[in-house]
Amino acid sequence: MTPTPHISAGSGEFAPDMLMPGDPKRAARIAADLLTDATLVTDVRGISGFTGTIGGRPLSVMASGMGNPSISIYATELYRFYGVRRIIRVGTCGGIPEDLAVGDVVVASAAHTESTTGTVRVPGVSLSLAPSPHLLRSALTASGADVRVGPVLSTDFFYLTRPGVVDALGELGTLAIEMEAAGLYATAMAEGAEALAILTVSDHVKTRAAMSSDERERRYERMLDLAVKTLSL
């Protein structure tokens, strides 16, 4: 079934491997900077997707929009109807530990969430939302000691202030807050596919250090390098 309700690409126009930022502008910039012969293959509702090659291998880049519901829609259609098998979310997050700095890279080894994405699939059970073991192992191999690895919170609320929740999560080793990893991990689990979230710390929830909106679009080199290396292993 292609095109799908939210993606206008034809069958075979996506590579099996995909990088997925949230922002359509970041997707376009990544495709231009990273891919050879990048071709726009979908642009429904301004959510752009591109396919090209890197090092002779096919690779796609597509935006997810913001939030667990949005990434769940796109990831489901990509896995189920377009033959995409591995998606790495490459996005931004808010750091929690005080020793985590703006610009640092986080690999999400699990995704906590207050969203129903962890509870709706199996009644009475809160699923453990985690990445593909193969992709996580590959990311750790490729990164050495140059990243932080641990759980993140995938929240549905960007502006809700909950200092007690953040403090409690920090005490349990949670590294950052973002909005999509849980939705992606749950979808990959349901579709029998692979997923991983590699994130750049764009702001800090305690120190209030933060990138500008322009820096959020541009400062992704370390994160992208790790994502590409992960997919090559």
- Per-residue pLDDT tens digits for 32-69: 999 999 999 999 999 999 999 999 999 999 999 999 99
pLDDT category of residue 145 using cuts at 50, 70 and 90: confident
203 as an active site residue: the answer is yes
Q: Which amino acid is at 190?
A: A
Which CATH superfamily does the domain covering 17-232 fall into?
Nucleoside phosphorylase domain (3.40.50.1580)
* Section 144-150 average pLDDT: 87
Angstrom distance (rounded) from CA 65 to CA 23 = 6
User: 196 near 88, Cβ under 8 Å?
Assistant: yes
Q: What is the pLDDT of residue 204?
A: 93
Angstrom distance (rounded) from CA 151 to CA 81 = 30
* Section 153-160 average pLDDT: 90
Angstrom distance (rounded) from CA 202 to CA 83 = 32
Residue 217 pLDDT > 80: no
Q: What is the mean pLDDT of the chain?
A: 94
Count Cβ atoms below 10 Å from residue 134 Cβ, excluding itself.
13
Residue 96 pLDDT > 90: yes
User: 62 near 90, Cβ under 8 Å?
Assistant: no
- 3-class SS string, the chain: CCCCCCCCCCCCCCCCEEEECCCHHHHHHHHHHHCEEEEEEECHHHCCEEEEEECCEEEEEECCCCCHHHHHHHHHHHHHHCCCCEEEEEEEEEECCCCCCCCCEEEEEEEECCCHHHCCCCCCCCCCCCCCHHHHHHHHHHHCCCCEEEEEEECCCCCCCCHHHHHHHHHCCCCEEECCHHHHHHHHHHHCCEEEEEEEEEEECCCCCECCHHHHHHCCHHHHHHHHHHHHC
Residue 216 pLDDT > 90: no
Question: Which of 104, 146, 167, 203 is the catalytic position?
Answer: 203
* Section 80-92 average pLDDT: 97
74-78, 142-146, 180-184: which range is least confident on average? 142-146
Q: What is the pLDDT of residue 45?
A: 94
- Quick one: angle between helices 24-34 and 221-232, nearest 10? 70
Q: What is the pLDDT of residue 149?
A: 97
User: 107 near 149, Cβ under 8 Å?
Assistant: yes
Residue, of 198 and 214, whose pLDDT is higher: 198
Phi, psi of 228 (to 5 degrees): -65, -45
Domain borders along the chain are: 17-232
